């Protein structure tokens, strides 16, 4: 276990920051440039492609990280696991690609068909998705460097070739090509170190647990994925963009923040599989506190700056997304806790069956509420995300009960520490309101509000001598000083 969790977190955080910067650069340019109807078709195609990719991935990514964490010290077992899961991935992705192409060819109107077909090649790119192995062995340095280079190529491609409102197909081609490049680099890198062998493959033993993960993915379709599908069918394609843009924005932020905890999953799985429960609980608590310390201010900040964020993205074309973004920011707080509970507790503890059941309950509730709204003629992007939030809160209540009462893990949401973080983050509301009253304009407001809120929040935590804040500060400064000495 030579690789430090702190070092991995820094690499992963840098990677997530870069992944955040790229959409911030490209997203507003694309949304301001593209025709609303064509971009709506692109987002609708992306929604259905995401549905197809779930079956292509077949749960291999998540399952592979957990399984390899327990055998990564054994080269032969690692090689056999990698070869077996890669072989399964070839079969699932080829089947999905054929099915997706057939459905698109015979059901999508000719004007949008090319967008759907080009994006469908992401399923082909997914055959070479082996990043799960790099994560399982905590090789975050390689992942970070490789992804930064590929994403830079992507940015250059966007600004070099996308100039017209109808360049949506070109945009789709660039996305697919960079996906293929990103996955091929990882595949070549991994395969040189762990050669694939198609002899003595273990296929059957992995199918049942993979199907379990696939069911979890399918159950998740009953939430935001179902919302987007229904909006595209019941309302219009533009409403998909109104919903999807705030979702993408909050997803970028939550994905960035998740870097703090997701790097700990392989280590937690290792501790759990080797019966090191004391180390498991210590790392779990540190991850949870560190995560919540940054989640609350980030989400409150997004909600406060929702009008400014949507102006930057759409220049007034998507003002209908402002209330959707506010609700998604609130939802991100809940989904962040879910990330901890699902990935670091339930999944590590092999509780996938329970997770499937409660996700199914919440998913059915969300579908029922959406159906009621459609029947009443009240189904909009705002009401769609609201029903999803309600359903997920029900899921979280059940999840916390199970973790505390069935697994015997002392895990709570309303802790004294979390209440402190929430109250300090809520100071952003009056700060934002006061600065906006000065009438400086969108850009100046953002430039002023963000650093002031950051200074107030983290300054208050240092003054209060918050244990987690002091720990993280010491870790970051320690790494920085070590680099300087070199």
Q: Is the pLDDT of residue 142 over 90?
A: no
- Compute the mean pLDDT over every residue in the chain, rounded to the nearest whole number: 83
Q: How many CB atoms lie within 10 A of CB 1?
A: 10
Please, which pLDDT band fits residue 111 given cuts at 50, 70 and 90? low
Q: Is the pLDDT of residue 426 over 90?
A: yes
Count CA atoms within 13 Å of residue 8 on its CB side. 23
Q: Is the pLDDT of residue 202 over 80?
A: yes
pLDDT above 70: percentage of residues in the chain: 88
Please, which pLDDT band fits residue 162 given cuts at 50, 70 and 90? very high
Beta-carbon contacts of 434 under 8 Å, excluding residues fewer than 6 positions away, are: none
Q: Is the pLDDT of residue 481 over 70?
A: no
Please, which pLDDT band fits residue 484 given cuts at 50, 70 and 90? very low
Per-residue pLDDT reduced to its tens digit, 272-319: 767 777 777 777 777 788 888 888 999 999 999 999 988 888 777 778
The distance from CA 189 to its chain's CA centroid, rounded to whole angstroms, is 24
Please say whether the beta carbons of 431 and 452 come within 8 A: yes
pLDDT value for 160: 92
Distance CA 158, CA 134 (A): 28
Q: How many CB atoms lie within 10 A of CB 195?
A: 10
pLDDT above 90: percentage of residues in the chain: 30
pLDDT value for 359: 84
Q: Is the pLDDT of residue 54 over 60?
A: yes
pLDDT value for 1: 44
Distance CA 277, CA 351 (A): 16
Beta-carbon contacts of 314 under 8 Å, excluding residues fewer than 6 positions away, are: 28, 31, 32, 245, 321
Region 139-143: what's the mean pLDDT? 82
Report the number of secondary-structure helices (H) and strands (E) in the chain. Answer: 21, 0
Please, which pLDDT band fits residue 123 given cuts at 50, 70 and 90? very high
Per-residue pLDDT reduced to its tens digit, 231-244: 888 888 788 888 98
Domain range annotation of the chain = 34-202
């Amino acid at each position: 276990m030579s690789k430090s969790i702190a070092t991995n977190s820094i690499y992963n955080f840098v990677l997530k920051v870069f992944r955040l910067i790229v959409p911030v650069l490209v997203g507003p340019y694309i949304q301001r440039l593209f025709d609303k109807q064509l971009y709506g078709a692109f987002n609708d195609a992306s929604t259905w492609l995401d549905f197809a990719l779930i079956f292509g991935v077949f749960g291999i990514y998540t399952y592979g990280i957990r399984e390899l964490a327990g055998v990564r010290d054994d080269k032969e077992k690692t090689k056999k696991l990698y070869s077996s899961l890669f072989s399964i991935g070839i079969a699932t992705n080829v089947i999905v690609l054929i099915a997706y192409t057939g459905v698109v060819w015979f059901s999508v109107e000719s004007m949008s068909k090319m967008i759907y077909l080009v994006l469908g090649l992401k399923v082909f790119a997914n055959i070479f998705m082996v990043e799960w192995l790099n994560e399982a062995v905590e090789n975050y340095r390689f992942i970070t460097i490789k992804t930064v280079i590929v994403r830079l190529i992507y940015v250059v491609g966007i600004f070099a070739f996308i100039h017209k409102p109808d360049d949506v197909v070109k945009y789709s081609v660039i996305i697919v090509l960079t996906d293929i490049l990103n996955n091929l680099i990882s595949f070549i890198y991994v395969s040189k170190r762990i050669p694939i062998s198609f002899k003595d493959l273990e296929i059957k033993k992995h199918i049942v647990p993979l199907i379990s993960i696939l069911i979890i993915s399918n159950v998740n379709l009953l939430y935001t994925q179902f919302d987007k599908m229904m909006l595209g069918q019941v309302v219009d394609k533009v409403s998909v963009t109104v919903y999807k843009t705030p979702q993408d924005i909050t997803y970028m932020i939550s994905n960035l923040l998740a870097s703090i905890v997701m790097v700990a999953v392989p280590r937690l799985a290792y501790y759990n599989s080797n019966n090191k429960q004391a180390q498991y609980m210590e790392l779990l608590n540190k991850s949870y506190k560190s995560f919540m310390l940054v989640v609350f201010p980030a989400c409150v900040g997004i909600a406060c700056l929702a009008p400014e964020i949507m102006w930057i993205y759409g220049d007034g074309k998507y003002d209908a997304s402002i209330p959707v973004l506010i609700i998604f920011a609130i939802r991100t707080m809940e989904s962040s806790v879910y990330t901890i509970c699902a990935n670091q507790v339930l999944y590590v503890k092999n509780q996938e069956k329970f997770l499937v059941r409660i996700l199914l309950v919440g998913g059915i509730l969300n579908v029922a509420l959406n159906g009621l709204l459609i029947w009443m003629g009240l189904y909009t992007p705002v009401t769609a995300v609201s029903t999803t939030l309600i359903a997920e809160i029900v899921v979280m209540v059940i999840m916390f009960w199970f973790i505390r009462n069935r697994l015997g893990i002392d895990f709570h949401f309303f802790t004294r520490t979390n209440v402190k973080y929430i109250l300090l983050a809520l100071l952003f509301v009056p700060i934002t309101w006061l600065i906006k009253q000065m009438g400086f304009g969108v850009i100046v407001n953002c430039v002023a509000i963000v650093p002031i809120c950051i200074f107030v929040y983290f300054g208050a935590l240092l003054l209060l001598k918050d244990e987690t804040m002091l720990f993280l500060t010491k870790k970051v400064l320690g790494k920085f000083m070590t680099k300087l000495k070199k």
